């Protein structure tokens, strides 16, 4: 058994619904084992500021499960640098790491829970390789952390985007418009894909599938003739449309995607086009029941890993069980692939991805035997 006096916890990176539920689960679980939990404010920056550290008791976490945001605050800026983009690299000096190690020893912290996305988990891995006992908890609305079926915050973001589509459906129908809804997701299209299906979008554009204007135009013109309006979900990381057969022209972007799509299709449609950027509404508000339950389990299981000495791991959800994987295996980006069953289902219903591929070209895979994993596209394979 891993001996510990205190457990530390921090929330890093962008905020999302469910962070407080993780804190709630960790604090209450630790208390059952007679452990104290100290919270570090402002993400990893809090590891450098002993004045901002405070003890967290079960009474402190009452009513936290339903509350959005994080009581520990968070930041993705400061001394703990991570390069941005698809290939993230951690840049931490030895002096910084020694200071963190010394501060944790001063506080009697024998295990640190780091709640964050792929960048924050990469920092957690670096802390572990330096000798700091660390456990990761996957947090991102993008659902792009590999090795776990779902990250908390994703379901809440999809719920928000789906609600927006439901509302846009009525106004698009009333005015006979095409509306392009831009959602978050960075370089992965999970939010756009799930919300697009749940909200009955006509087209879903995601970073993983390069698209062409002519394919999107054909679908929208067909929908306009059939029902008088159209809905397009655009992931923020979608690049400019391809020209000809040159797939190398695909350039991901993280802003202005819906505006670019509208500009490209406007000359070819005989109707008004509007863009809606959902933005940080997807990060705010109370978590869904699913995210509350998932995040609470993550917090409790993270404590279990520390108490059992399984540091250097990330908590992961492989339905129906909570498990753990090494942090080094958890920092890869999980992206939508053409063989995902949810993609095939969307194509089967006539949803356009702008790539010209039809349902007939993507038959459903069997969910028997070893092919079961292909029917759960979020799982790392």
Which residue numbers are catalytic?
142
Q: What is the pLDDT of residue 141?
A: 95
| pTM of the predicted structure, to 2 decimals | 0.87
pLDDT surpassing 70 at residue 328: yes
pLDDT tens for residues 297-319? 999 999 999 999 999 999 999 99
Instruction: State whether 165 and 145 are in the same domain.
Output: no
Residues 112 and 168 in one domain: no
Q: Does 16 share its domain with 90?
A: yes
Indicate if the pLDDT at residue 56 is higher than 60.
yes
Same domain, 126 and 252: no
335 vs 300: CA distance, rounded Å: 28
Domain that holds residue 254: 157-283+337-375
pLDDT of residue 30: 97
Specify whether 66 is located in the same domain as 138.
yes
pLDDT, residue 242, reads: 62
- Which CATH number covers residue 134? 3.40.50.450
pLDDT score of 105 more than 90: yes
β 109-116/90-91 pair status: unpaired
Beta bridge partners of 36: 6
Q: Would residue 381 count as lying in a domain?
A: no
Q: Is residue 14 part of a domain?
A: yes
* Same-domain pairing of 107 and 209: no
Contacts of 160-163 spanning 24+ positions with Cβ under 8 A: 160/278, 160/281, 160/282, 160/285, 161/191, 161/192, 161/195, 161/199, 161/233, 161/278, 161/282, 162/194, 162/195, 162/198, 162/199
Q: Are residues 111 and 254 in the same domain?
A: no
Q: Are 183 and 236 in contact (CB under 8 A)?
A: yes
User: Hey, is 218 helix, strand or coil?
Assistant: helix
Band (255; pLDDT cuts 50, 70, 90)? confident
Average pLDDT over residues 191-219: 96
Which range has highest mean pLDDT (36-50, 72-86, 231-245)? Answer: 36-50
Q: Interior CA angle at 135 toward 12 and 373, to 5°?
A: 95
The pLDDT tens digits of the residues spanning 14-53 come to 899 999 999 999 999 999 999 999 999 999 999 998 888 9
């Amino acid at each position: 058994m891993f001996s510990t006096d205190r457990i530390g916890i921090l929330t890093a990176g962008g905020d999302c619904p469910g962070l407080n539920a993780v804190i709630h689960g960790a604090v209450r679980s630790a208390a059952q084992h007679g452990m104290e939990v100290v919270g570090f404010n402002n993400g990893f920056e809090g590891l450098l500021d002993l004045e901002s550290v405070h003890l967290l008791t079960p009474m402190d976490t009452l009513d936290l499960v339903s509350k959005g945001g994080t009581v520990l605050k968070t930041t993705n800026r400061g001394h703990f640098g991570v390069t941005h983009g698809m290939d993230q690299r951690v840049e931490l000096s030895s002096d910084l790491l020694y200071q963190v190690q010394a501060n944790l020893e001063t506080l009697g912290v024998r295990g640190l829970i780091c709640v964050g996305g792929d960048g924050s988990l990469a920092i957690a891995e670096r802390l572990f390789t330096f000798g700091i006992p660390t456990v990761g908890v996957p947090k991102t609305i993008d659902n792009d952390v590999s090795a776990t079926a779902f990250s908390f915050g994703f379901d809440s973001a999809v719920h928000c985007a789906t609600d927006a589509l439901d509302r846009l459906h009525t106004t698009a129908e009333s005015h006979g418009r095409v509306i392009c809804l831009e959602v978050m997701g960075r370089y992965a299209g999970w939010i756009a894909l799930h919300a697009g299906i749940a909200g009955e979008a006509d087209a879903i554009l995601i970073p993983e599938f390069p698209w062409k204007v002519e394919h999107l135009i054909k679908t929208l013109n067909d929908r306009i003739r059939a029902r008088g309006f159209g809905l397009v979900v655009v992931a923020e990381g979608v690049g400019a449309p391809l020209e000809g057969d040159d797939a190398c022209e695909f350039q991901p972007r993280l802003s202005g995607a819906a505006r670019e799509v509208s500009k490209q299709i406007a000359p070819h449609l005989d109707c008004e086009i509007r863009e809606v950027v959902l933005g940080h509404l997807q990060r705010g508000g109370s978590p869904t029941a699913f995210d509350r339950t998932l995040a609470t389990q993550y917090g409790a299981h993270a404590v279990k890993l520390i108490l059992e000495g399984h540091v250097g791991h990330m908590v992961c959800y492989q339905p129906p069980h909570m498990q753990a994987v090494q942090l080094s295996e958890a920092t890869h980006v999980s992206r939508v692939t053409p063989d995902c069953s949810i993609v095939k289902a969307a194509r089967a219903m006539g949803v356009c991805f702008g790539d010209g591929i039809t349902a007939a070209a993507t038959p459903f895979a069997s969910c028997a035997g070893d092919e079961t994993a292909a029917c759960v596209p979020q799982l790392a394979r």
